[in-house]
Chain A
Amino acid sequence: MASLVFAQRTCFGSTHASALTIARLKYGGGGDWYWGASAIPNMLKFLKENTNIPVNEEEVRVSVLDDDLFSYPFLFMTGHGNVKFTDQEVERLRNYLTHGGFLFANDSYGLKKAFFQEMKRVFPDNDLVELPFGHGIYHCYYDFPDGLPKIHKHDEKPPQGFAIFHEGRLVVFFVYESDIGDGWEDFQVHDDPPEKREAALKMGTNIITWALEN
C-alpha cells in the first residue's frame, strides 16, 4: 500500500483530527483494563514509522461515559477476566459505535465470555461473527493469508477474529486466542520473539487502518 490517507470521521472531535491516538477503554467489572502499559505507545510508534498516519504517541485513557469519548475514533480494550457495562454505558457505547467509533478488543485471556455477553447487550440483534481469512482486515496493509497471527499460547486453540457489523461497517473486532495486545508490549515483558511482536504490530496496523478507512 503506497500511502494511507487518514480520513477522520466527521463526528469525532476536530482537536484530534490531525493526529491519531489509541484510547484505552476503561471498563468496569474487575478486568484489568490497564493491562499492558507499553502496548499502545509501541503500537503508535510502529504506526508512525510504518504508515503515513499522523500519530500522537501518548496513550489516552477513556471511560465510556467520559465527555471526550467521541474524540477518539479508535478504542482499545484488553485485559483478563470480567467486563461489565452499566446500562448507561451500553447505550453510550452503542451510540459511539454506530456513529463511527471502532472498538478493538484483545482477549489477553479469559475475556471472551464476558465480552460476548456484554456485546450482546450493546448489539442485541448483531452477533459476533468470525471473520473469514479473506476479509480485508487481514490484508488491508499487511497480508495475513491465514488470518490472525498466534502470538500467545493460551489454550493452544487456533486464533479467531470475531466482528460485529453495523450497517455493513465493522465496528467491533474481538481477537481471541491470539493476544495481539500482548504482542505490542516491550519485548522484555513477555519475552516474545521479534517475529511474534512484529506480526502483532503488523496485525494491529491492519486493524487500525481498516477502522480508519472503512
Chain B
Amino acid sequence: MDKNFDLSRYAALTKRLKALGSVYAKNKAAWGILFTFFLALGFAFLGLWLNSLFVFPVEARIGYLGMASLVLVSAISYFCLRPIFYKSNLENLALRLEQKFSELNNRLIAALQLAKNLKENPEHYSTDMIEAVIEQADSTTQKLDIQKIIDRRPIKKMGKMAGSLAVIFLIFAFFFPTTFNSSLYIFSHPLTEFVSPQKFFFVVSPGDAEVVKYSDVKIKINVEGEKPKKVNFYWRNEGARWNEEKLLQKSKETQVESPDFSFDIKEVKRSFDYYAEAEGVQSDQYKITVVDKPRVIGLRLTFNYPRYTQLKTQVVDENDGNINAIAGTKVQIEARTNKDLGKADIFFSDSSISEMKIEGSNAFGQILLKKDDSYHIELWDKIGNKNQDPIEYKITKVDDQYPVVEILEPGHDQDLSENMRVPLLIRISDDYGFSSLRLSYQIVSEGKEGEEKTIRIDLPNNNRTAMDVEYLWNLSNLPLLPGDLVRYKAIVYDNDTFRGPKKAESKTYSVRLPSLDEIIAEVESEQEGQVEDLETLLRGQRDLKKKIEDISRELDRATGHLDLDWQKRQQMEEILEKQQKLASDLKDLAQRMDENIEKIEENKLAALDMLEKLWEIRELMQEIITPEMKEALRKLAEALKNLDPELLKQAAEQMKLSQEELLKRLDRTIALLKRMQAEQKLEDLIKMAERMAESQDEINQNVEASEKEKLPKLSNAEKHLRQDLDSFEEKMQEFSDLATELSLLPPEEIDELQNMAQESGVKADMGQMISQLSEMNKSGAMKSGKSCSNKLKDMANRLKSAKEKMQLEMKEEILQAIKKALHDLFDLSDGQEGLFEQVEQLERVDMGLRSLALDQQNLKSGATRVAEDLDTLAQKTIFIGSDVRRFMALSVGSMEKATRNLEERKGDIALDEQKEAVYDLNVTARKLMQAMNAAQKSCSGSGMEQMFEQLQKMCNNQSCINQGTEQLGMCGGPGMQLSLSEQAAMQRLAAEQQAVRKSLAQLENEFGNSSEILGRLDDLGEEMKKVVDDFERLHVDQSTIERQKKILSRLLDAEKSIRKRDLSKKRRAEVGEDISRPSPKELPSDLFQPDQMAKDDLSRFLEEAYPKEYEQLIKEYFKALSKERMKE
C-alpha cells in the first residue's frame, strides 16, 4: 500500500472492542466461577446425602471424588479460565454488537474486515471507503454503550442458585452435624474403610448387670430403626459355647409398654455373656454377673439364763433359731452366712429392729426374752443384696412355773404317837429351784383355832429342782392336850428373783393327840377283830374241807366216764370262788395288820422283839395260801373250764391235801396271833399302869402346889384316873382269860395279876383322895395320892415282872424245843450216814437192800416227826424260818425216795438219795443253830431293842451336833480369825462328833451281821471322821454342814430300818438309754392288701358324686372285686 492510511480510527475502534471483549470474558469467567461453585456444592451435598444413606467403599468414594474433581476442574477450565484466556475475537464481538445495535448496520464488521485490506488489498477495495467505513464504525460505536451486549443475568442466576445451595448446605451442616461431620470425615479420609451405616441398631437392657442368684432375668431388646422380624439371642456361661435362641417380634397387642424382643431366664445360677443379632446387625456384648444373695447357713444360739435359774449357759448349734426359754433369758445369736455382709438386723414382729454386729460373714445379735414374739434376720451383702424369705423364728417365753409341794408322808390325817414326833416327807418341785420351805401349823384346841405359826425347814444347798425333804417335826414343845388337833401344811417358795418368789401350799393335814387309852383300845379292838376274822375263815375252811372231801370221794367212786352234773359243777365253782375269796380276805387282813403294827410301833405299845413277831405273823398270814393250794386252784379252774374228768379228779385230790395244810396254817396263825394278842394286852396293861402312875404323880404335884381352895377342882382329874383304873381292871380280865386259854402263865400267877388292883387297895385310896380333895384336905389328899402312886407303880412293876417271866419261859421253851430238834437231827444224820455205809457195802442188787429199806423207812418217820416238831415250834417263834422247814421237808423227801429205791433194790439211786438226805439234814441243823443263837439274843436284852436304843441315842446326839454347827455358822478357814469362844465351841463339837463315831464303831462291832437292818453305815465312820477333822482344823464350811446332814439322815434311816423292814430306799443310778433299738413293729398287712386297695378305689369312686341309687351298686362291685383279689 502506497498511501499512508490513517489507522488511528481503526485502532480506537479495536481498542474499544478489545476492552469490550475483556469485560465480556470476565463476565463469562464470573459465571463459570459461580457455576463451578454450584457444582462443588452440588457434589458435596450429593456426597453427604448419599453418605447418610450408605457408606461408600473406598473405591466409590475415590471415584466420586475423582469425578467431582474432574468435573470441577473442567468447569474451572472451561467456564472460568477459557473465557479469560481464550477471549472472543473482535469480529465475534462486532457481530454481537451488530446484532444488538442495528444502527451499526454492519459497518462495524465491515470496518474490521476491510481494515485488513488497507495493507494488502487483493480485492482492491477503495481504501477511502474502508477508511470511511472505519470512521463511521468508530464514530457510531463511540456513541453506543457497547457493553450492553454483555448479559449479566446468568451470573445473577447462577449466583442465586449457588447461594441457595450454599444456604441449604449450611442448614444441613447445622442441623445434622454428625452426618455432616461424619461425611466430611469420611470424604476427607477417602482411603479409610468405613462401615456402612446400619438400618437399625439395638438397645439392650439390662446390659452389663449384676443379678442375684436364682432370681429371674428378663433381657429386653428394643430396635431403633427398621425393626427386623426376628432377632437371634446369643448367650453363654463362662467358658462355655454360645447358645442361640430365636426371638420373634411380639405382636402389636402385646407390644404396649413391652420391649420389641425379650428373653426370660429363670433362676439364673451362673454368670453369662449375651448379645443380640439380626440381619447382620449385632448389639454390643454384655455380661450378667450372678451374685449370691446373702443367706444364713448356720445359726448358733447361746442362752444365758437368768442367774436365779442357776442354769448353765446353753449353746444350741442346731440351726434352729426358735427360742424357747424363760423370761429374762439373754439369747446371743450368731448367724453364719454364705458371704461377707454389709449389714444385718434382727426384725421382730412388732417391727422393732435390733442391729447386729458384723464380722466378715458372721453376724452377732442379742435378744432379751421378755414376751412371746417372733423374729427374723435380714442380711445385706456389701452391694446391698438382701436375703430372700428369711425364716421367721418363734420366741416363746416360758413362764417360771409355780412350785409344787406335797406332803407324801404321812399324807393323811393321823394320831400323834407317843414320841410326839411326826416324820414328814415333803416333796417339792419347781422348774428352777427354791428359796425356802416352811411348815405352817395351827393348834385347834376344843374347837378354837390358835395362831398360825411357821417353822423354817432347811433345804440342802444343791440347787435341785425337785427333792424329797425329810423333816422330823417335834411337837413335844407344843402345849397340846389329849384331843387337841394340829393342822399343818407345807409352804414352798421358789427362787424367782425376776418377778419375786412364788409360793405354793400343800394340802392341809392334821395330827391329833389321842389319849393312850384310845390308842390301846383301838389296837386291841383291831387285834380282836383280826382273830375273829381268822376264826371265821377257819370255820368256813373247815366246812369247805368237808365239801372238798365229799366231792373228791364222789369223783373217786366214778369209774369210766364222769357225769359232771350241773350241781357238782356248781359246788366246785363255789369251792373255787371261796378259796379265791379267802386269798383276798387274807390280803385285806394282812393290810389291816400292817396298819395296826404301825400304830403299835408309833406309840411304843410293844417291845421291838414283839413287833418282830407281829411282822412274822403278818407274813404267815400271807403264806396261808400255799403255792400248792394256788396250783390246785389253778388246776381246778382249768378242769372246770375244760370239763376234763381226769383233771378234775387230780385237782380235787390236790385241793384236799392243800386244804389240810391250809387249815394247819390257819390254826398256826391264829395261835400265834392270840399269843401275840395276849402279850400285847400285857404290854398295854404295863403302859396303862405306868401312865396312871405318872398321872397320879402329876396330880400329886398339883395338889402340893395348889392352894386349898383350888383342891376340889383337882378331884376331877383323880376321878378320871379312877375311871382309867376301871378300864385297867377290865383289860386285866381280858388278859387273864387269854393267858389262861393259852397257858402263858401258871394259873395262880394269872389270878394274882387279876386281883392285883383290887388287893392293892388303890381304888379305895383313889376314892379317899377324891373325898379329901373335895373337902380341901390337902395333907390327907397328898398322903392318899402318894399311896396311890406307889401302888400303881407297884402294879406296873409286877406286870413287868410277869411279862419278863412269861418271855423267859417262852424263851426257855423255844430253846429247849430247838435243842431237842437239833438233837433229833444229829441222831437222824448219824443214822442216815450209818445206813449209807451199809448200803454202800452191799452188792448193788443184793436182797439185803430190801431189809435196809425198813431202816430207811424208820429214819424217814423220825425225820417226819422232827419236821412236825419244827412246824409246831414255828408257831411259837419267829426264828424258825421257812428255809429251816424247807430243808427239813427236802430231807424227808429224799429219805422217802431212798426207801422206795431200796425196796426196788436200786442201790445206786438209793445211795444218791441218802447223800441228799444227809446234806439236807445237816443244812437244817446249821440253820436251826443259827435260829437258836438269834432266839437267845432276842431274849437277852441286848437284842434289837438295845440296838434301836443305841441308834436312837446316836441320832439325838448327831441332831444336837448338827444344830450346834449350824448355830456356829460357817466360819474359820485360811485367813479367818476365830474368837476364843468359837474355837472352844468347835472343840466341843469335835469331841461330841468323835463320841458318836465311837458309838457307831461299837454298834457295828456288836451288830455287824445285821447290816441289812442297819442299812449301809459302813462309810459313815469315815464321814464322821471328816467332820471331826473340820472341827479340829477350826474350819467349818457348807460341805461340813452337808456332811453332817447326810450322817443324820443315814442314822435316821438305820433307825427306821429297825422299826420297819424294807423301808430304806435304795437309790440306783439311772442307766442311760442306748440309741440303738429294736426294729419298729411290722407294718399292718392291710397296707398292702388288695382289700385296702379296693377300699381306696371305692372311696375314690364314691368321691365322684354318683347318684345315690348307684352308690350301693358301686359298693357291691368293689366288695366283689376285693374278694376276687383276695382269691388271687
Partner of A132, one of B318, B393, B1080, B1092: B1080
Shortest C-beta distance, B965 to chain A (Å), equals: 43
- Cβ contacts under 8 Å, B1077 to chain A: 158
We find that the number of chain B residues with CB closer than 8 angstroms to chain A is: 28
> How many pairs of residues, A versus B, come closer than 8 Å at their CB atoms?
63
Q: Which B1076-1102 residues have C-beta < 8 A from chain A?
A: 1076-1077, 1079-1084, 1087-1089, 1092-1093, 1096, 1099
A30 x B319 contact (CB < 8 A) = no
User: Taking the complex as formed, is A146 at the interface, i.e. its CB lies under 8 A from any CB of chain B?
Assistant: yes
- Cβ contacts under 8 Å, A131 to chain B: 1080, 1083
Given known A-B contacts A80-B391, A168-B1092, A154 and B1076 have beta carbons under 8 A apart:
no
For A108, give the chain B residue with the smallest CB separation: B319
A30 x B1081 contact (CB < 8 A) = no
A146 x B320 contact (CB < 8 A) = no
User: Taking the complex as formed, is B392 at the interface, i.e. its CB lies under 8 A from any CB of chain A?
Assistant: yes
User: Taking the complex as formed, is A49 at the interface, i.e. its CB lies under 8 A from any CB of chain B?
Assistant: no
User: Taking the complex as formed, is B271 at the interface, i.e. its CB lies under 8 A from any CB of chain A?
Assistant: no
A133 x B1079 contact (CB < 8 A) = yes
Shortest C-beta distance, A69 to chain B (Å), equals: 15
B1087 x A30 contact (CB < 8 A) = no
User: Taking the complex as formed, is A147 at the interface, i.e. its CB lies under 8 A from any CB of chain B?
Assistant: yes
Given known A-B contacts A30-B392, A109-B319, A132-B1081, A168 and B1093 have beta carbons under 8 A apart:
yes
> Once the chains are docked, how many angstroms separate the CA of A22 from the CA of B1087?
27
User: Taking the complex as formed, is B1075 at the interface, i.e. its CB lies under 8 A from any CB of chain A?
Assistant: yes
- Cβ contacts under 8 Å, B319 to chain A: 80, 108-109
Given known A-B contacts A30-B391, A31-B391, A134 and B1079 have beta carbons under 8 A apart:
yes
Q: Which B1007-1065 residues have C-beta < 8 A from chain A?
A: none
Q: Which A64-86 residues have C-beta < 8 A from chain B?
A: 80-82
- Cβ contacts under 8 Å, A120 to chain B: none
> Once the chains are docked, how many angstroms separate the CA of A150 from the CA of B1077?
12
Interface string of A96-114 (1 = CB under 8 A from B): 0000000000001110000
User: Taking the complex as formed, is A16 at the interface, i.e. its CB lies under 8 A from any CB of chain B?
Assistant: no
For A145, give the chain B residue with the smallest CB separation: B1079
Q: Which A159-173 residues have C-beta < 8 A from chain B?
A: 160, 165-168
User: Taking the complex as formed, is B267 at the interface, i.e. its CB lies under 8 A from any CB of chain A?
Assistant: yes
User: Taking the complex as formed, is B727 at the interface, i.e. its CB lies under 8 A from any CB of chain A?
Assistant: no
B1088 x A134 contact (CB < 8 A) = no
A132 x B1083 contact (CB < 8 A) = yes
- Cβ contacts under 8 Å, A87 to chain B: none
> Once the chains are docked, how many angstroms separate the CA of A165 from the CA of B214?
34
User: Taking the complex as formed, is B596 at the interface, i.e. its CB lies under 8 A from any CB of chain A?
Assistant: no
For A36, give the chain B residue with the smallest CB separation: B297
> Once the chains are docked, how many angstroms separate the CA of A158 from the CA of B1073?
10
Q: Which B290-308 residues have C-beta < 8 A from chain A?
A: 295, 297
A166 x B389 contact (CB < 8 A) = no
A167 x B391 contact (CB < 8 A) = no
Shortest C-beta distance, B355 to chain A (Å), equals: 23
B1082 x A134 contact (CB < 8 A) = yes
User: Taking the complex as formed, is A143 at the interface, i.e. its CB lies under 8 A from any CB of chain B?
Assistant: no
- Cβ contacts under 8 Å, A132 to chain B: 1079-1083
> Once the chains are docked, how many angstroms separate the CA of A32 from the CA of B391?
7
B1083 x A158 contact (CB < 8 A) = no
- Cβ contacts under 8 Å, A150 to chain B: 1075
A80 x B320 contact (CB < 8 A) = yes
> Once the chains are docked, how many angstroms separate the CA of A158 from the CA of B1080?
11
- Cβ contacts under 8 Å, A129 to chain B: 1083-1084, 1087
> Once the chains are docked, how many angstroms separate the CA of A120 from the CA of B319?
26
Interface string of A119-156 (1 = CB under 8 A from B): 00000010001111111000000000011001000101
Q: Which B368-424 residues have C-beta < 8 A from chain A?
A: 389, 391-393
For B295, give the chain A residue with the smallest CB separation: A34
- Cβ contacts under 8 Å, A32 to chain B: 391
Q: Which A191-205 residues have C-beta < 8 A from chain B?
A: none
User: Taking the complex as formed, is B322 at the interface, i.e. its CB lies under 8 A from any CB of chain A?
Assistant: yes
- Cβ contacts under 8 Å, A109 to chain B: 318-320
User: Taking the complex as formed, is A45 at the interface, i.e. its CB lies under 8 A from any CB of chain B?
Assistant: no
- Cβ contacts under 8 Å, B320 to chain A: 80-81, 109-110
Shortest C-beta distance, A49 to chain B (Å), equals: 23
- Cβ contacts under 8 Å, B1084 to chain A: 129
Shortest C-beta distance, B1084 to chain A (Å), equals: 8
For B393, give the chain A residue with the smallest CB separation: A81
Interface string of B667-695 (1 = CB under 8 A from A): 00000000000000000000000000000
- Cβ contacts under 8 Å, B1080 to chain A: 130-133, 160
A157 x B1075 contact (CB < 8 A) = yes
> Once the chains are docked, how many angstroms separate the CA of A144 from the CA of B869?
68
- Cβ contacts under 8 Å, B1079 to chain A: 132-134, 147
Partner of A125, one of B322, B1082, B1099: B1099
Partner of A154, one of B214, B295, B297, B318: B318
A158 x B391 contact (CB < 8 A) = no
For A161, give the chain B residue with the smallest CB separation: B1080
- Cβ contacts under 8 Å, B297 to chain A: 189
> Once the chains are docked, how many angstroms separate the CA of A61 from the CA of B322?
27
B267 x A61 contact (CB < 8 A) = yes
- Cβ contacts under 8 Å, A154 to chain B: 318
- Cβ contacts under 8 Å, A160 to chain B: 1080
Q: Which A4-50 residues have C-beta < 8 A from chain B?
A: 30-32, 34
Chain A to chain B: the 9 pairs with minimum beta-carbon distance, closest first: A133-B1079, A130-B1080, A168-B1088, A132-B1079, A165-B1087, A158-B1077, A167-B1093, A132-B1080, A30-B392
Known: A131-B1083, A167-B1093, A168-B1088. 7 other contacts (CB 8 A): A32-B391, A82-B392, A110-B322, A129-B1087, A132-B1080, A146-B1076, A168-B1092
26 pairs, CB–CB < 8 Å, chain A vs chain B:
A30-B389, A30-B392, A34-B214, A61-B214, A61-B267, A80-B391, A81-B393, A109-B318, A109-B320, A110-B322, A129-B1083, A129-B1084, A129-B1087, A130-B1080, A131-B1080, A132-B1079, A133-B1079, A146-B1076, A147-B1079, A150-B1075, A156-B1075, A158-B1077, A160-B1080, A166-B1096, A167-B1096, A168-B1089
Interface residues of A (CB under 8 A from B): 30-32, 34, 61, 80-82, 108-110, 125, 129-135, 146-147, 150, 154, 156-158, 160, 165-168, 189
